Amino acid sequence: MAQSPRDIRRRIKSVQNTAQITKAMEMVAAAKLRRVQEAVQLSKPYLEKMQEMLGDIAYSARFVKHPLLAVRPVRKTGYLVITSDRGLAGAYNANVLRRAVQEFRNKDKATYTIFSVGRKGRDFFSRQGYPLAGEVTGLPDSPTYLSISSLASDIVHAYGAQEFDELYMVYNEFINAVTQQTVVRKVLPLTDMGGGTATRKINFLYEPDEVALVQALLPKYAETLVYQAVLDAKASEHGARMTAMGNASDAASEMIDSLTLVLNRARQAAITTQIAEVVGGAEALK
């Protein structure tokens, strides 16, 4: 059934309103992305320097024992799954949850536990009956260390208490504004410390001593790895939302052009019909 010009104008107006909303959301996501990118860039030097220092200390005190360095037989695995609180971000959440489910699809639920960041992941795991050990929701658009430190500390403490024997993070790694890559990254035990070399150029002096520093800094380092992943995931979320809203705005523009063409054709048909009626009436009066 052909639509009247009035109905078509209403549809065009509705699509224009939607396009205004999606364009505004795209611009907001772009602004948030810039702020999170700055936070990511600022935190990376701190993380790299801490890893370098811990590697050097670990070499000096290579016989030190710490629960976060202990490699144990894996009886139970922990997963930190990072999603968003809101949707309208394309396949951002679906990709993370699909990858997480692939990780423990064929595992018994007694052999793994899940820590969730983001309402989307929390709701999904709760509905499906997965073992959820901890959660954080309502993170700000630019997360601070304080906003994630409680969960990170709980995870580190649980590993130290041997509640699980290894920890993996599942999240979207930020590549650029239009590309995010879903990754599974092992965090615990801390086997990537590297350590110094046998011939170090500089001999550092540590106060009070290397062993005490390792005991104090290793938990902070593990928590910082979690925080860095949350920042990375948040940047990916804003990038995915910006891209999704940009695509929605483009689709709305195409729909408006298509509806405008239909409207013009309908108006032409109406004018042609009126002319034909006038001509027919004039012929009838002859």
- CATH number of the domain where residue 114 is located: 3.40.1380.10
Spell out the residues 6+ positions from residue 23 whose beta carbon is closer than 8 angstroms to its own: 245, 249
Given CA atoms 78, 185, 89, 144 in this order, what sign does their dihedral have?
Answer: positive
What DSSP letter does each residue of 227-246 carry, written as one string? HHHHHHHHHHHHHHHHHHHH
Sequence-distant (6+) residues with CB within 8 A of 225 are 47, 169, 187
Answer whether residue 252 is part of any domain. no
The number of distinct structural domains making up the chain is 1
Mean pLDDT of 58-87: 79
pLDDT of 184 reads: 92
Domain assignment present for 235: yes
CA 90 vs CA 180, 233, 243: distances in Å: 11, 14, 8
Whole-number percent of the chain with pLDDT over 90: 12
Let me know if residue 268 belongs to a domain. Answer: no
More confidently predicted of 64 and 174: 174
pTM over 0.75: yes
**What are the CA-CA distances from residue 12 to residues 6, 94, 217, 222, 250 (Å)?**
10, 31, 60, 53, 14
Domain that holds residue 111: 26-243
Indicate whether 15 belongs to any domain.
Answer: no
Asked if the structure places residue 51 within a domain, the reply is yes
Model confidence over 195-204: pLDDT tens digits? 544 445 556 6
Q: With respect to residue 16, please indicate whether it lies within any of the assigned structural domains.
A: no
Predicted confidence band of residue 163 (pLDDT cuts 50, 70, 90): confident
**pLDDT at residue 106 in the model:** 82
Q: Which has more pLDDT, 142 or 280?
A: 142
pLDDT, residue 107, reads: 84
Map residue 212 onto helix, strand or coil: helix
Which residues partner with 116 through β-bridges? 81, 135
